[in-house]
A and B are shown apart, each in its own frame.
Chain A
Amino acid sequence: MGARRQASEETKFLRGETGVDGAATKEQVDPAEAEQAKAREALYRGRTWLGRECLTWILYKSNDTRPIATLDDEPISVLFNGRLTLRAAAGDITEVAVKGVNAPYAALIRQAADQGLLVHSARLTFTWQERVYEVTLDAEHFDVRAGNTPELMKEEEAEKIAERLDHVAALGRLIDAVLRRFVEVRTSPQWKKSVVPELKAWMREKAPRS
């Protein structure tokens, strides 16, 4: 055995990379298996699966443009517009990202959802009363990202802050109202009986021929 090769083996042993028998101490992980495990871990972490079901349900409900929930007896309408990310916990494709104003309602998205790729993050527009808010939400944390409020009416700096904080509070209440509506549906017997079959039927709808 060459001196260099022997030194290299000694170094590997000292680093803890090999054992006394010269075999590797760590098992080689199959990249595909590692990816699947990572995708599955992401699904269960913080019950992200419930968030993905929620965003997918919102996408389905927003499809017919009718109000999705109410806040202070006023209807809330939601519209998906722009970037959308779908994620799966198994299968060959674990993530799909699409761009385009109408992309969320494209047949391709429904087909992907039918294959288990549910909505993980999306750009949404909430309309309530005269107010329109645009925001990006994700299924794990539901953090508000890149949110836009209606134009501020006040001019004084102190008043502007109060108005902005009022929008922040309203946006939070809007999101909560929609999530609450989803949770009501999700925990009712209707979820398995009618909502899931309706969702699957919508996912399997054929695109209209142009």
Chain B
Amino acid sequence: MPIRRGALSFARFRLTGDFPKDTRRWLTKALTARAFEGIDPKGDEDRASGFVELEQNDRTDFAPGSVFEGLAALFAWRVERLRIPSQALRGQLSEWAQAFEQKNGRAPGRREKTEQKDVIRRALRSKTEPTVKVFDVSVDLAAKELQVWATSRTVVDEVLEALESTLEVRLVPCVPASLLDADALDRLAPTTELFGDELAKSAPAEVA
């Protein structure tokens, strides 16, 4: 678990918006609303994601003792993906095609093959274990800062989307642009002296 050990790798965001007084309850409610639910082996989805506890990443109780550490909230984002092994799928389909040809005296048609492929895929789906990836998330409640301990931008964006919708706050990346108000930012343009002559021809001019 990267929060606990190893090198620090995380994306940082500031929480902006209105916060209720009981931040612990507010956060727990949000985590529960977007808690992880596993993939249904009988369904069609092959990916599932949601919040889990940090210590036991198969639990979604979010008891205060398991989430809060002083003025920090610690939890995780679990992603499960079901990948049907294509080799097994191809092998079983080929066996079925041979048996079909022996029985009927002709090779199966394209539609018959597609139907059988679907039957095999469903059978394999119930036998295949999903791959699990867990990414730590920490919130500094005092500084109102969020850290998503992931390097994949897809995961970072997914966690942001889940938290923004459930907490009803904006999560602003900690980059130089976020330290300026919208008007000041609109007045700025790339410094043409630094970016070179070629960019200067197309770059918008900075407003003094």
- Chain A contacts to B: CB under 8 angstroms: 40, 43, 46-47, 49-51, 53-54, 56, 88-91, 113, 115-116, 118, 135, 140-149, 158, 160-162, 164-165, 167-169, 171-173, 175-176, 179-180, 182-183, 186-187, 189, 191-192, 196, 199-200
Count of A-B contacts with CB under 8 A? 142
- Please indicate the chain A residues that have their CB under 8 angstroms from the CB of B34 in the complex: none
| Pair A196/B194 contact, Cβ less than 8 Å | yes
| Pair B199/A90 contact, Cβ less than 8 Å | yes
- Please give the number of chain B residues whose Cβ is less than 8 angstroms from any Cβ of chain A in the complex: 41
Any A CB within 8 A of the CB of B177: yes
Any A CB within 8 A of the CB of B169: no
Tell me what chain B mostly uses at the interface: helix, strand, loop, or mixed. Answer: mixed
Cα-based distance from A144 to B8 in the complex (angstroms):
7
Selected contact of A144 from candidates B9, B70, B177, CB within 8 Å: B9
- Please indicate the chain B residues that have their CB under 8 angstroms from the CB of A49 in the complex: 190, 195
- Please indicate the chain A residues that have their CB under 8 angstroms from the CB of B4 in the complex: 160-161, 164
**Distance of B9 from chain A, by nearest CB (Å):** 5
- Chain B contacts to A: CB under 8 angstroms: 3-4, 7-12, 69-70, 72, 74, 138, 140, 143, 145, 147, 151, 153, 173-177, 179-180, 184-185, 188, 190-191, 193-199, 202, 206, 208
| Pair A142/B69 contact, Cβ less than 8 Å | no
- Please indicate the chain A residues that have their CB under 8 angstroms from the CB of B72 in the complex: 165
Q: List 8 A-B contacts (CB under 8 A).
A: A51-B176, A89-B196, A90-B198, A116-B194, A168-B138, A168-B140, A172-B174, A187-B180
Assuming the A-B contacts A116-B199, A172-B145, are A51 and B175 also in contact, with contact meaning beta carbons closer than 8 angstroms in the complex?
Answer: yes
| Pair A169/B143 contact, Cβ less than 8 Å | yes
| Pair A142/B8 contact, Cβ less than 8 Å | no
| Pair A146/B196 contact, Cβ less than 8 Å | no
- Please indicate the chain A residues that have their CB under 8 angstroms from the CB of B70 in the complex: 162, 165
**Distance of A170 from chain B, by nearest CB (Å):** 10
Assuming the A-B contacts A53-B190, A187-B184, are A142 and B195 also in contact, with contact meaning beta carbons closer than 8 angstroms in the complex?
Answer: no
